[in-house]
Each structure stands twice: as C-alpha cells, then as structure tokens.
Structure 1
C-alpha cells in the first residue's frame, strides 16, 4: 500500500472487533478464509486496519446479515472502490463527479437532448454503471424531483433526462446470446419508477450477468406467471413509494413451490417491519448486485 497513513487512521484488530461488534477470532477467520484482513503494514509492527478496510468489513457484515454467503459477501466487498461505488470525498473522483453533475444539469435545463445523452454516456463510460448512477444520474434526478415538489415545474426536464438514461442503459453491451437468464427484475404493481431496475440490469450486464426486466407496473399475477415460466434464481421487486409496496406481492412469490433462491425488495417504498421474513433489503445498487449474483452460485 503506497502513501503515508496517519496513526489516527490505523486500527488494531481489537479496536476493529469492538467497532463491528464481533470477536477478534471472527476477524481472523475473515482474514484467513476470505482475504479480508488489514492492509497497513509497518516493519516491526502488527498489521493495522485502515478506514477503507473497516468500510469493506462493514459491507461484508451487512451482506451476511441480509443472507448473503460469507464468501460472496467478501468477494464483492473487496471489489468496492471509488471506481465501482461512491467516489472518495475530497478526491479527484469526487471533483470529476461534481463536474459531471453540473454539466448534465445544465444540458438538461436547456432541454438539449443530444448533450444530455452525451453527458450520460460519458459518465457511464468513465465511471462505470454503478458509480455513474449513484454519483451523477440519481443526484440529478433527485434535484429535478425536489424542484418539481417545490414549484410544480421541470416535468419536461425529468422526462427528457429519464428517456436519455434509458436509451444509454439500453445501448450498453449485454452478455452473449444463449447465456442463461436467471435474474428477474420488476417494479411493484402500480410502481412507475423503472429507471432503478434499468440501472441494475445494466450493472448486471457489465458484470456478465444477463437479467430479464419486466419494467414498470407489474401486477402480482404477471410477476408470478413470469416466476413460474422462467424459474429465476434471483428476483428483485422495486418500489419507490409506500403506496406501491404491498407485502402480499412478496408473500405470493415466497409461497411458490419453485420459489427463487433470493427474493429482494428494492427501493425506499418498502418498510422492513411490514414485509415477510426471507426477503432481503439491498441498501444500494452495489448491494443489489451482490445479493442477486449470490443466488447464481
């Protein structure tokens, strides 16, 4: 590891164990079995954990609690980086992301469709699907939504940006024809916000995993029919608003004889206490990728 790490950013195994609420022996096991050990090494001293090491461990721990196998959770936590997730605050990536947000916002307000699409394509190309969605596209959409909520304006801007995002995601390369499709994505009944599952489908494709997306407003009967006909290993149902998050939709999938290995409820519409046990809640696009791909192993 290059560079100098300040003593305040270096932690012993005991300190990390207390922070995570696990035993030191658990940390040692994660280190030996899954390569999730400390990365800072000073000659003559024990290895120390950095903040980045701890963030990865926290992600791994959260995924395990959600039902992901420890090996899969560790593999995806190790992949987490500014290029694949959120940019490091104050770093070059953060500055590039902020500039991309400003450029896209200005083009959107001008209703300059070619420029909007170009900005979106550049963000996806330079940052990857996950980081582009989390750091550029979603913030712009949220800002437009907040402006609409306050003033009732910019509906045309939101439609234009959403259409361009869909077009860019749809144009990205997909896995080769003939690759088994074992992931099913759908919006909840009456849910119209389908861009998040389009982003997830594009991110899965970038990882070499094809997905079948049913789009917006999928009735429970149609979702069950798709599950029965395709036998997916992983299913994610997206809800943006509590009014579309009906637990019965999830209960019906769980009741299927050939139920999927993983059933995930994505989006802020779902409330954890109100859904049946056995349903996993990804907190981010990265975690949705981990959870769904863990169903394929």
Structure 2
C-alpha cells in the first residue's frame, strides 16, 4: 500500500466486490476511508481495509450488513488483526463460473437451480471443497449485493435456506462414524448465525467423525450439560460478533476424561482473552484439522 493509501477500485478488487458496494457501505453503514486526496478521491489505509475485511467476514457468517458494519466500526486492533477470509473465499465471484451461476440463480430466486448447483458441488467436491470454492463466495457476493441494495433480503435468505438444506442432506447421508467420542458444535449464546456451524458439522460427518450440532444461541449452561452427557473429544463454539464473543464463560465449561479440546471460530473472539489451551481457528480447513487432532486422527 502506498503512503497515500488505496483507491476504491484497488480495495474492491482486494475484497472481491464491486466498487459501488464500497460506496454503498460508506453511505449506508458509515464504513468510510480515513482520508481523501486533494481532489476528493477516497483513499483507504490498512486499518480501513481491515475493517472492510472484517465486515465481509461477518456477512459471510450470516450477519446482516448493518450489524456487521457496527461490529467492524467498534472492533479494536486485536480483532482487526485477524487474517482475511481464506483465499478460495476471497476470489471475486465474477472470476468463478460456478459461483456466477449460483449467484444468478439466487438473484432470480430460482430455488430448483440453486439446489441443483449446490448439490452437484457437494457431490463432486464434498463440503471441504464446495464450502470455500462455491458456497462461501456466493454467500459473500449475495450479501454484498443485498447490502448495496442490488437484491432484496429474501434472496439472501433463500440462498441460505438452500445451502442449509443441502448440508443437512450431506450429514444425513454420511456413513457410520469411525470415532466414538463426539465433537460438539454450538453457536455462542445470542449468536443466531449458524450456517458456518452447520457447514462444519456436515463436513466432519463426511470425514467420519461423530458430530452433535447444537445450533444457534446455545446458553453456556446448556452447552455444559451436553458436555457432561456426551463426553466429547472437542467442543467448537462459533461467534460472529464481539457482542456474542464473551470468552469468560468458556473457562467455566466442565472438563472431561480424557480432556476435551476447546476450539473457537469466527471473528467475534479476541485472542488475548481466551482461556488457556483454547485453540482459535480462522478457516474451515483449520476447524476440521483441529477436530481431527482432538480425536488423534492426524
């Protein structure tokens, strides 16, 4: 980045969105560059770009754009230091024909075409390939268009519903698990955006792991009860915003024998405040690897 910062076009290419999306985010959600040239052109510094990347990651996790923008504006240096989404998810949707096709089907609210495209990708590539290669980029693109006013919110909801249905079918079709101790997957209390947890659950089931997906808004006492009843090898907790990512109750979760591995994912967690021994993952592949390691499979 030059001393003058990046222009709108360069930042748009870096995030894989249209320049008009950045202007809309500035106008609607006050995610603005910190400087301008003498001629009035926008210039984004590293912190500005980090806030945009955080907002984009939150949208990918299912957070409404207004809420994602609010969290990005309030984020401290530790949260902004998190790396951007994995490269496969950051590729501009216009460069991937399969993503373009899914985005077109979503914009047309063609549920049959969406289901076919999602199902074909999952059949061909599994969750491990389809999530970063197709599903996540399409969700990012539709979220960005919805934030820019290019598509109505029901388009985003319909796409999410098609993806959730397909992931549920993958989990249901998975063969018998090769592990006995389960992996528990849950959203933090008040965290409503469970799509990343559902994707991880389906992917782990495809890997042959015993999985229990507890879903959205799981109170910590309920999670503690599930730990006591199932004796999991690992517990994964998802938080997409700082409002849902309070790390203090994590330290009070019960232990197991052998000891469980506590794993957290999502941009809502602040690294320095996590309990000792907690593993924070930032990508789908990292979450799968952490779960497998907890079971001694890698």
Give the TM-score range, shorter chain.
Answer: 0.5 to 0.7
1 CA distance for matches of 2:93 and 2:240?
29
Contact 1:97 1:136 in 2 (8 A): no
| Alignment gaps of 5+ in structure 2 | 1-85
Tell me the TM-score normalized by structure 2.
0.64
Query: How far off is 1:202 after superposition?
Result: 1.2
- Does the 8 Å contact 1:86/1:131 carry over to 2? no
1:1-297 alignment to 2 at 5 Å? 98-151=96-149, 154-172=152-170, 173-176=173-176, 180-253=180-253, 256=255, 260-297=259-296
Q: Does the 8 A contact of 1:181 with 1:232 survive in 2?
A: yes
TM-score w.r.t. the length of structure 1 is 0.64
Deviation at 1:154, TM superposition (A): 2.5
CA contact (8 A) 1:184 1:234 kept: yes
CA drift at 1:259: 7.9
CA-atom RMSD, angstroms?
2.7
For 2:188 and 2:151, locate their aligned partners in 1 and report how far apart those are by CA, in whole Å. Answer: 27
- Number of equivalent positions: 208
Report if the CA contact (8 A) 1:141-1:158 is conserved. Answer: yes
How far, CA to CA, are the matches of 1:217 and 1:113 in structure 2? 27
**Once the two structures are superposed, what CA deviation does each residue of 1:151-198 show, in whole Å capped at 9, x if it has no partner?**
395310111111111111111122327963511000000111111111
- Of residues 237-246 and 124-133 in structure 1, the stretch that sits farther from structure 2 once superposed is 124-133
What stretches of structure 1 of length at least 5 have no aligned partner? 1-84
Which protein shows a greater Rg?
1
Shift of the 265–124 alpha-carbon distance from structure 1 to 2, 3 Å rule, reads same
Distance 1:205 1:257, change over 3 A: closer
Name which of structure 1's ranges 267-276 and 110-119 shifts more when overlaid on structure 2: 267-276
1:69 aligns with none
Mapped partners of 2:207, 2:255: distance in 1: 29
Determine which structure has greater relative contact order: mean sequence separation of CA pairs < 8 Å that are 6+ residues apart, divided by chain length: 2
Following the alignment from structure 2 to structure 1, what is the Cα–Cα distance between the partners of residues 150 and 119? 28
User: How many angstroms apart in 2 are the aligned matches of 1:96 and 1:203?
Assistant: 26
Deviation at 1:143, TM superposition (A): 1.9
Give the distance between the partners of 2:147 and 2:227, measured in 1 at CA. Answer: 36
- Distance across 2 between alignment mates of 1:180 and 1:99: 40
